[in-house]
Amino acid sequence: MQGNNHSNDEFPNATSILDGIEEIVNNAGGKMFFSESGDFSNEVDIVVAVYGEDPYAEFQGDEKI
């Protein structure tokens, strides 16, 4: 299912990337800081950047025949 108008509730038995990373970090005794904008003032050891793009394969990227 493509798109960005979906909630995590539409994917039962799945884990979001954020929730999965948070669980692993917490289980290892670490701390996780989340910033949707990428701005933060904490000193960190590791940065995980996850990004995406608007879906286009189904219509916007189609060739006109």
| Model pLDDT, residue 26 | 96
Q: Tell me 8's DSSP state.
A: G
Quick check: 19 and 30 in contact, CB under 8 A?
A: no
| Model pLDDT, residue 61 | 60
| Model pLDDT, residue 57 | 62
Q: Into how many domains does the chain fold?
A: 1
Phi-psi category of 13—alpha, beta or left, where left has phi over 0 and alpha has psi -120 to 50? left
* Low-confidence residues of the chain: pLDDT under 70: 1-4, 54-63
* Percent of the chain that is helix, strand, coil (3-state, to 5): 20, 0, 80
Task: Name the residue range of residue 62's domain.
Answer: 1-65
1 Cβ contact list (under 8 Å, min separation 6):
10
